[in-house]
A and B are shown apart, each in its own frame.
Chain A
Amino acid sequence: MSVWIILAAIAVLGFSGFPACLFSSRRAAGQWLTTLIMLLGSGLGLSGVVMSLNESTTASMCAAWFLPWGRFAVAIDPLSVLFLLPVFVVPVLGSIYGLGYWKQSEHQTNGRRLGLFYGLLAGAMALVTIARDGVLFLIAWEVMAIAAYFAATAEDDNPEVRRAGWVYLIATHVGTLCLIAMFALWNQATGSFALSPTQGVSSELAGALFILAVIGFGFKAGLMPLHVWLPGAHANAPSHVSAVMSGVMLKMGVYGIVRMTVLLPVPEMWWGGVLLAVGAVTGIAGIAFAIGQHDLKRLLAYSSIENIGIIAMGLGLGMLGRTQNRPDWVLLGLGGALLHVWNHSLFKSLLFFNAGAIIHAVHTRDINRLGGLTRHMPLVMGLFVIGAVAICALPPFNGFASEWLLYVGLFRTLGSDVQAGCPAAALAAVALAMIGALAVACFVKLLSAVFLGSPRHPMPGHLHPASTSMTIPMLLLAGGCAVIGLFPMLTAGLLEKAIGTWMTLPVAADSITAIAPLNWITLLGLALIILVGLITLIVRFLPMSTVIREVGTWDCGYSRPTARIQYTGSSLGQMLVRLFGFFLWPKTENPKLRGVFSGITQFKSLVPDTVLDRLVVPVFNLAGRYLPWLRIMQQGQTHLYVLYIIVIVMILMIWGACGN
């Protein structure tokens, strides 16, 4: 029963944007209708999810279809449920947010198109998580990729958006190519496209499948160095699309890796090692690049890469636990990773919604021009602080809960004796600590550059505060961050069920709460809040504290301070950028000062993406310069093409004859 409800929900979500195409492009009615349909779809989906959790068996459905390969096979196990929940929560909130952020009346040319592909994206993502057949999976995957392309390039009159869109389209298809190879190999090894666990795969073949999965899904998830499309696409998409892409779509890549490792036989030790190492590199490099950015949304995009790195580290630990037969590592590693999937979809969507509200108000993404926005948008600022504290994994919000599980798991790999332990994995804890400290640097930079101090450049005359339809989704997401942060044990049941589908846990295995006492997180989180409240009361209501003198900021006696002498985001990050200069390769244009009274000059600094701008683009440019001579073959004359076919077929026949 729950399968049908969820399939219906997917259909409703997928086609939610279609009716609006019949409405006027100048009025809001169509957009409201789209949002209502999405609300209906998400409601259906959530009720289906709840129903499937109460059913004793895994709900599944299988039917033959018109294509010569594969079948229409879907199933909803707890692992699917775990990834389905963000799909049913974030896009609908984004749609509500869009009512204020991307008003149809202000975006007449692309509003309806955006709604169309936005819904399709949500539906396709839901289908990806429940597909149990290689061909169906690939179709859903491709629809998702294409829908995301059209949704992200809504403003395609802007050349930068078009460029980011192209990069995304190429990257996603290279990834899909790996996935096609993977499923073809799978079909050859198991005899069908059905995605059900197998033991009959040799270890070399399983290793090859695993590598293809990590590369293919890694392109979508944004593992370094496959992340090239991510910063540009997230920065140039409308903010609610960025939120869905970062909060949900990247997780589909994670889902793919998790699902493939369910299907393959017991992994080898190096699988976990690879994921731990890739995760650590992705995490540290991702957040270091984030610190170098001055574009609000590019910065958030790089921080998504960092979080994917953390998730990959958790997966790696879980995989190690599976090879070493240590259920506690699996529970903590995979459990931490899966909880982080949820957490990241909550706080990253929140931060992208915040970013959208800021951009909506000031019409720039350059944080070095901003400052002092707290006065104009106090609520947005408060919500931003919650999101920033959560993403830095600081207590008492949800990021801490998932990273804490991961840390405890990593520390447990030390083992009481070296033989049983895997001390090299514990090094990942040090990497995670560094990521944590860098994240604090990054988000203090973002917070202070945008909201604190005073404006570094003149602001546009009228800053309109975020509308109600924009603040409600943000409030809900912030509430989610607080609830999971304070009561993480609520999630333990579902996490354990999902881990149960990944690896059959021994009956005697402890639960997550038994190995890692989550109730202490609750207690100390509440204690922290109470303590802060108490100290605030004491400080604020000391008898003399009421005597407040309002003065200017102390500037060490300088008599003519201006807002321009404040530290900007870039100057705050400069020391760290220099420290990590060996892979960030920052570009600077130093001004040349001539004479005593030098004219007006400018200093510029920029941290371009090392992989994209220094490797991929030059290679593509070279290819563009030297490959055109191949055009000799492409004359546009049909008989020539037929000739090619005949020649190729002849060659193949001769080759085949010689082979035999």
Chain B
Amino acid sequence: MIEKVIHIGVLLVLPPLLLGVINKTKAWFAGRNGPVLLQVYYDLFKLMRKGMAISTTTTWVFLAGPVITLATVLLAGLLVPMGRFDAPIVFTGDLILFAYLFGLSRFFTTAAAMDTGSAFEGMGVAREVTFACLSEPALFFALLVLAKVSGSLKLTEMLHGPAGGFTAAVAAPLVLVAIGLFIVLLAETCRIPVDDPNTHLELTMIHEVMVLDHSGPLFGVILYAASLKMLVIGSVLLHVVFTFQTGRAWLDWPLFIGELLGLAVVIGIVESVMARLQMRHVPYLLIAAILFCGFGFILLVR
């Protein structure tokens, strides 16, 4: 019970910190001081106290976009285990629900963007739905590998691996899957090299351009949901990369949080040392992710 409370606590409180760590890392690379680590929390509080400017073109879908996104990502967060602890909700086939909840959030995020009737947001929507068609197969290849390795269809058991830990025989497929999942993570959370969250050119963005018209509390919800999504998909990746545990609960929670923050640092480093790919080259990256995960699958079942 206490584990579930901690799980939900981490899920609700930690996400904005990840963005803070990424920004700090990027600032450090650029030789700046950068915003304080808690800046995103301040931003969220500020946004919650603001009014909203809403386009006259929009309908209820505009409101539904952020709200449904947050609800689905929260629910998905309850399906993913953290560290060595089980997820609060575990059942056979929950991995499919996990993937499709993100589909539902994509449906309403993109619909909300189209609701404004802005050409820029249309561009973002076209990119988002196109790239999703490539990242989804990569994700499912990864899930197939994990299901095969663990012999389970419960996300918690899949990510914890078989009872005796992962064997050496599955190391190669898991490495390939980890690379593929990292690319999926970058694409789904809209980071460089797929998308640049900081650009000021609306023409070149994906996620940020879809939410141009959202403001005030609605924008706060979007910002929070985006960081939450990073935490949720990041936890999936961390299970594949780190399997080390101490076996003591009071050490394993800080260890897991440390891993998450480490992941944020890695994302920050990737953002600092790489440039955003040309938009027409992004599909190649995603196809590479499919190939990594697909080869992992082939290695496993050969």
Contact = CB atoms under 8 A, between A and B. Distances in A.
Contacts of B216: 544-545
A540 B151 CA distance: 45
A444 B138 CA distance: 22
Contacts of B121: 567
Contacts of B93: 404, 407-408, 411, 516-517, 520
A579 interface: yes
A576 B130 contact: yes
Contacts of B57: 372, 453-454, 552-553
B59 to A, nearest CB: 5
Interface stretch (A112-120, A318-326, A425-433): A425-433
A84 interface: no
A548 interface: yes
A452 B59 contact: yes
B137 A433 contact: yes
B176 to A, nearest CB: 15
Contacts of B127: 575
B114 A567 contact: yes
Contacts of A375: 59
A93 to B, nearest CB: 26
Contacts of B107: 388-389, 392, 394, 440, 443-444
B63 A536 contact: yes
A400 interface: yes
A110 interface: no
A554 B212 contact: yes
B165 interface: no
Interface in A549-569: 549-556, 563, 565-567
Interface stretch (B29-37, B66-74, B241-249, B258-266): B66-74
A460 B4 CA distance: 57
Interface string B247-272: 00000000000000000000000000
Which of B53, B54, B55, B129 counts the most chain A CB atoms within 10 A? B129
Interface in A525-554: 527-528, 531-532, 535-536, 539-540, 542-554
Interface string B55-95: 11111010100111011101100000000000001011111
A563 B116 CA distance: 11
Contacts of B119: 555, 565-567
Interface stretch (A71-79, A98-106, A262-270, A412-420): A412-420
B208 interface: no
B117 A548 contact: no
B91 A572 contact: no
Q: How large is the interface on B (under 10, 10 to 19, 20 to 34, 35 or more residues)?
A: 35 or more
A385 B112 CA distance: 12
B179 interface: no
B93 to A, nearest CB: 4
Contact of B71 (A389, A394, A535, A540): A535
B126 A531 contact: no
Contacts of B153: 408, 411-412
A516 B111 contact: no
A13 interface: no
Nearest to A397: B104
Contacts of B114: 444, 447-448, 452-453, 567, 572
Interface stretch (B15-23, B141-149, B228-236): B141-149
A437 to B, nearest CB: 4
A189 to B, nearest CB: 38
Contact of A527 (B61, B68, B75, B115): B75
A273 interface: no
Contacts of A437: 103, 129, 132-133, 135-137
Provide the main secondary structure of the chain B interface.
helix
B12 interface: no
Interface residues of A, number: 85
B147 A414 contact: yes
B226 interface: no
Contacts of B202: 556
A441 interface: yes
A556 B120 contact: yes
Contact of B55 (A543, A553, A566): A553
Contact of A552 (B51, B55, B123, B126): B55
A423 interface: yes
Nearest to A455: B117
A416 B162 CA distance: 11
Provide the main secondary structure of the chain A interface.
helix
A111 interface: no
A283 B111 CA distance: 23
A317 B193 CA distance: 39
Contacts of B213: 553-554
Nearest to A516: B93
A572 B68 CA distance: 22
A180 interface: no
B218 interface: yes
B99 interface: yes
Which of B49, B75, B125, B130 counts the most chain A CB atoms within 10 A? B130
Contacts of A430: 137, 140-141, 144, 294
Contact of B53 (A453, A515, A551): A551
B106 interface: yes
A476 to B, nearest CB: 23
B70 A535 contact: yes
A414 B145 CA distance: 9
A443 B125 CA distance: 12
A571 interface: yes
B106 A440 contact: yes
B136 A453 contact: no
Contacts of B48: 542, 544
A505 B53 CA distance: 61
Contacts of A394: 100, 103-104, 107
A563 B117 contact: yes
A395 B100 contact: yes
Nearest to A520: B91
A532 B118 contact: no
A440 B133 CA distance: 9
A436 interface: yes
A434 interface: yes
A532 B72 CA distance: 8
A469 interface: no
Contacts of B117: 371-372, 452-454, 553, 563, 566
A571 B126 contact: yes
A367 interface: no
Given A408-B153, A567-B123, A572-B122, A444 B129 contact: yes
A508 B297 CA distance: 32
B137 to A, nearest CB: 5
Contacts of B120: 555-556
B283 interface: yes
Contacts of B6: none
A554 B211 CA distance: 11
Contacts of B125: 444, 448, 567, 572
A71 B176 CA distance: 62
B289 interface: no
A436 to B, nearest CB: 6
B219 to A, nearest CB: 11
Contact of A567 (B55, B96, B122, B141): B122
A441 B133 contact: yes
B55 A554 contact: yes
B133 to A, nearest CB: 4
A226 interface: no
B132 A441 contact: yes
A528 B92 contact: no
A249 interface: no
Which of B48, B66, B96, B107 counts the most chain A CB atoms within 10 A? B96
B61 A452 contact: yes
Given A395-B101, A454-B57, 6 more contacts: A392-B103, A394-B103, A414-B144, A434-B133, A441-B130, A553-B213
14 contacts: A404-B96, A408-B153, A433-B140, A436-B136, A437-B132, A452-B114, A452-B117, A453-B57, A545-B216, A548-B52, A553-B58, A553-B117, A566-B118, A576-B129
